[in-house]
Structure 1
């Protein structure tokens, strides 16, 4: 009798939970469903929730817009479309542009304000989704947390950058920010605490998490972060030549124009499928890491009124202390990748950012050191494959994870928990998706099989030890999400206290068959890479922003150089250009409406190994879109050749003028209106510039330039010999038409 009553009560409880739950959010009502976890525990599932307006039509490539409200009750029982992509497993086109959906899994809706864990999927920023086929929240919700997974735009649709206000780049990251804003505003309706949000991600998702912790857009949205097998320090996360990548993609689809607006119009008129397939041909994902994704993260140029995820190199943000208020868990697997060996040249493993010339004495010496460290002097034959894979994994993931921790230690005010996942069991995902070459090592994605339910392991029977490992992982991750400490107390599963790293001790938790606390993982190898970065890495050798590529012109194509009638000449004395980042006061007035010019020029000049500019050296500034280009002054900047060259063919016979003789009133009077100009040099990408003046000035096409002096000796104008009269030129003429018109007059390129 008692048993029957208990069964009846259970049925009643089950019946109440089986009713389709309805939740009200800012946009309307959502009807979800009740799902049973593998252990039989029921939880609520809401899927396919739109967190932004569909990025279709004119919104393609743009930052996401807030979602629109709907009438009635919206069905949230099925997942939304994934981002348009080439499926990694099937190698076929799947998905849709209308993909900005998220899923919420919660153990109750009664307003207990549970910790919230937001997962960002990996896939090299090219493929993947937050759907339950790989990232089911079943196990995590059993630990009394609310789990959110999401889709974001991948590949060219999410990371095209034209360096314009319309398409500055990083739309896929801005999708993630918009999702966090939606979660912050609505998660309390699902029983979640909007004041306790932990973001976590793996691979490209880990890199995205590291960027989000540094972005000003997430201030107040993120409380804790877990970075798994990927950081934004990694070379594969960032586009080096976004403008060239955009141009190459458009050209492969038949676009011959180099004009950013025309390229955007062309790409907007192209189907999503064609864009995705062209991207895959441009940089096939299976060739990673030898060929990296053409459309990844960019350091955005700042535009008034346009939100940017990141406008400085990530390393600057990491070392500045601006991530200091976020508790971090970070780590990687013991062996990330085991790709087919594609080269025996160990110079290929020297980090690009060290700027070491191939086959130089330094490069050959480093390659020999790598050989001795990883292969004990020999690296040929099948027997050395494990060592090769260790080197490959270190280069792509482990070294940058180590660097991330080391940089963070020096500035962080919050705990940093470092781990190595070294467990091999039946739930290791690599057994299903990667070639493990028979190696019994924990590899890329393997920890995910112990955090999420996934379709790949439907028929896998976990061992007792696997189940214990899963319980450990779930407790560590959710304990951190709840209170910022993964081991608040010791128990049967967590029998080790995980200590955060300190400046004196690089503590880490080894997640193997047993938990163990150690220090300095891979100490000998990491010290070797640390020594290389200490010796060769120079932060001033690297672009400070995404402004080095300003137009879509290819440096290999012939270009027309346009002139302008006004010039600004900046004068400095060695005492005024120092590493203190102070600008000459005379210059400041001239460019006061172009603050970015000051900062850009400042970056290039003061970072030249700290050497001051000699007195009375001349810097001619050419300005467009608040960009600065320094001409005829290669003694000022030696390490930024793509941006600054000794353009003798452009500016000739520049006279040194005493700065005290400048008529500032007349100079300032001329600096008002933009005029377009393009620069060319055989060894550098083209640049464009704007000069402000108070009267309209037409471009003048000639390569011969001379300086005209004012009565007081200061340069007044730049005039090209053989220029046609201004009145002979059509108004509002485009560059290509202008070239044709000029040539018809008998001019020459």
Structure 2
């Protein structure tokens, strides 16, 4: 009898599961697979689904473009590439590929279009991480009849370079997320999901991204609910203050000298992903991180955020949706590099160091956070609490206080303080003698992951997992995490009010409290009310943008010896074009003080090829017709300058391949070390100065 009932319920939920399910989306058909959750419940898995074109060639650093359609049935049984990064856990070495804009979908039912959808944004400081099932398996969540989506997005400089230009305004990684959400909204009904009920949730930088989406004029109309975990965009440190300067530092780290934004873009476009990531990692160790930017608005260019997040939040222009927001007890356990407590006064308060105000605040911090000395091992736990407050908890508290003033939707505030076998930081914190939940610890109870595959959870751990999964999925379903009390959910979680910051303490038992860490937060509220000036906070990028077209380059009176000029007799031999080109220098007597410039790249290939012979300032002196070149990969050449010295050839990864259209404008650019794409030209050559000439109006 019971078996028959179960079979009947299976029929209601879409019938028996197909081993190789096929789903049709806008771009074509996908074949997934059926898998079983740890409890034995079956669900469908579709992995490695492209939601955008691969960001290769001219699409590097640019906003994502919709994915191309495909023929036949695409295999969706394994994950796509992770985005280029340094592996933070295992190898500590470069991994990934730029062709990485993929998402994964896990669903209990392919029929109907009624299940709530939860879209997870991974953390990693905007420089590493992915939506991989090895860390974020959706098994436990899917068991509660929701559709789970995990996504990859571009990271580091590849995802967050900003030159404050229409071509590279910044936030490509955030635009990836928006594009993924759009794809989900258009296609999730084919996976049993409700496109009108999308909950975005993320942790750490994923929490920052989630917060930004709620304030984005582009994204906030797409989402129904948000869960912001251990990170918020009200913290101005998550935004780049000087992105163009950061880009220059990246170029310098790579050994380049580019200064104007066009040269910077050309140089970075010609650099391999591996070199970019490794250079970015070195800068990160020096304190420079490529994160979100407040974009400048350009006509016809879609942006994510163009104003201070604080401005948008306090003026009530964030998405008016139910929100869950919270943090863990000990968010950060970083090495203490200084005993000066002034170092932990938030920079956004603009308090002058060693001023009377700064010293007074430091003294108050010491008395509030430390029972005795604020140095030494014995004060480590207190130091970590202070660090966690100044880096995350204060900003979460402020976000909640501002949000409740402008929203008429429920805001649920939490503190995660459970310590169990599934805490990701358990080994670290235990070794330090700390007994609190750390950064990312709640994730061990929401997701299946490989880190914990050999860990044996206790009965209490399993109870906490069930509690967490139920609250998160209840919220996605109805906007209320505790719609009814039961064995697992023993407390009704009240949303915050303007008069009372209710919060749920997620410890060994659930308990409802009010105004967490009241004494400390009251102190920081007082400091912020006195020193925080919203009009002093970052606006759109104000750095001066220097472009090639802004420069006036004088035409030299003398003709360098290395080039033919317009008076070359017709009897002079035409330069012979080899693969891809051989630069022929004619003898001449240069001025004694003159130093020859080096041409370090080669010529453009068209239907009828022209070799442009230029002087040492880059101006065209002559165009020599040659036979078309059909070779796709240039042979390395060494160039001899006018003094007879061999010039070091450029790095392979810095070679640029271009093809011109009939009007002489470049059609596409790919890096020499990239595999050819079917939609990219195969007959291509090189010319470093093409963009320069075009910026002057183009040469007809």
Displacement of 1:541: 2.2
SS of 1:48's partner is: strand
Q: 2:77 maps to which residue?
A: 77
1:405 has 2:406 as partner: no
SS of 1:401's partner is: helix
1:598-648 deviations in whole A, cap 9, x for unaligned?
Answer: xxxxxxxxxxxxxxxxxxxxxxxxxxxxxxxxxxxxxxxxxxxxxxxxxxx
User: Do the aligned residues in 1 keep the contact of 2:221 with 2:319 (CA within 8 Å)?
Assistant: no
Question: Which sits farther off after the overlay, 6-15 or 151-160?
Answer: 6-15
User: Do the aligned residues in 2 keep the contact of 1:118 with 1:197 (CA within 8 Å)?
Assistant: yes
1:509-529 deviations in whole A, cap 9, x for unaligned?
Answer: 000111110000000111111
Seen in structure 2, the aligned counterparts of structure 1 residues 549 and 524 have a Cα distance that, compared at 3 Å, is farther
Structure 1 distance, partners of 2:197, 2:2, is 41
Q: Structure 1 runs of 4+ off > 6 angstroms?
A: 2-15, 559-562
Question: Which sits farther off after the overlay, 359-368 or 453-462?
Answer: 359-368
User: Do the aligned residues in 1 keep the contact of 2:503 with 2:516 (CA within 8 Å)?
Assistant: yes
User: Do the aligned residues in 1 keep the contact of 2:27 with 2:67 (CA within 8 Å)?
Assistant: yes
Q: 2:640 maps to which residue?
A: none
SS of 1:119's partner is: strand
Structure 1 distance, partners of 2:537, 2:2, is 73
Question: Which sits farther off after the overlay, 252-261 or 521-530?
Answer: 252-261
**TM-score with structure 1 setting the length:** 0.71
Displacement of 1:16: 4.7
Q: 1:614 maps to which residue?
A: none
Q: 1:50 maps to which residue?
A: 50
1:106-154 deviations in whole A, cap 9, x for unaligned?
Answer: 0010114100000000000000001101000000000000000000001
Q: 1:488 maps to which residue?
A: 483
Structure 1 distance, partners of 2:430, 2:243, is 32
Displacement of 1:733: 10
Which stretches in structure 2 are left out of the alignment for 5+ residues? 554-690
Seen in structure 2, the aligned counterparts of structure 1 residues 228 and 733 have a Cα distance that, compared at 3 Å, is closer
User: Do the aligned residues in 2 keep the contact of 1:236 with 1:292 (CA within 8 Å)?
Assistant: no
Q: 2:196 maps to which residue?
A: 195
1:565-596 deviations in whole A, cap 9, x for unaligned?
Answer: xxxxxxxxxxxxxxxxxxxxxxxxxxxxxxxx
Seen in structure 2, the aligned counterparts of structure 1 residues 6 and 356 have a Cα distance that, compared at 3 Å, is closer
1:40 has 2:40 as partner: yes
User: Do the aligned residues in 2 keep the contact of 1:200 with 1:206 (CA within 8 Å)?
Assistant: yes
Which stretches in structure 1 are left out of the alignment for 5+ residues? 285-290, 554-558, 563-731, 738-749
Structure 2 distance, partners of 1:4, 1:76, is 32
- 2:519 aligned residue (513, 520, 524): 524
Q: 2:365 maps to which residue?
A: 370
1:352 has 2:347 as partner: yes
Q: 2:282 maps to which residue?
A: 281
Structure 2 distance, partners of 1:245, 1:434, is 34
Seen in structure 2, the aligned counterparts of structure 1 residues 24 and 343 have a Cα distance that, compared at 3 Å, is same
Q: 1:220 maps to which residue?
A: 221
Displacement of 1:323: 1.6
1:394 has 2:389 as partner: yes
1:343-399 deviations in whole A, cap 9, x for unaligned?
Answer: 101000000001111111111111111111111352122111100000010111100
SS of 2:266's partner is: helix
Structure 1 distance, partners of 2:386, 2:544, is 33
- 2:459 aligned residue (464, 486, 498): 464
Displacement of 1:160: 0.3
SS of 1:217's partner is: coil
User: Do the aligned residues in 1 keep the contact of 2:104 with 2:149 (CA within 8 Å)?
Assistant: yes
Q: 2:257 maps to which residue?
A: 256
Q: 1:674 maps to which residue?
A: none
Structure 1 distance, partners of 2:410, 2:477, is 14
Displacement of 1:544: 2.2
Structure 2 distance, partners of 1:116, 1:451, is 15
Displacement of 1:9: 11
1:155-198 deviations in whole A, cap 9, x for unaligned?
Answer: 00000000000000000000000000000000000000000000
Structure 2 distance, partners of 1:279, 1:383, is 36
SS of 1:283's partner is: helix
User: Do the aligned residues in 2 keep the contact of 1:372 with 1:378 (CA within 8 Å)?
Assistant: no
Aligned CA RMSD, in angstroms, stands at 2.7
1:426-575 map, 5 Å: 426-431=421-426, 437-551=432-546
Give aligned pairs, total: 555
1:63-82 deviations in whole A, cap 9, x for unaligned?
Answer: 00000000000000000001
User: Do the aligned residues in 2 keep the contact of 1:242 with 1:294 (CA within 8 Å)?
Assistant: no
Seen in structure 2, the aligned counterparts of structure 1 residues 3 and 529 have a Cα distance that, compared at 3 Å, is closer
Seen in structure 2, the aligned counterparts of structure 1 residues 282 and 72 have a Cα distance that, compared at 3 Å, is same
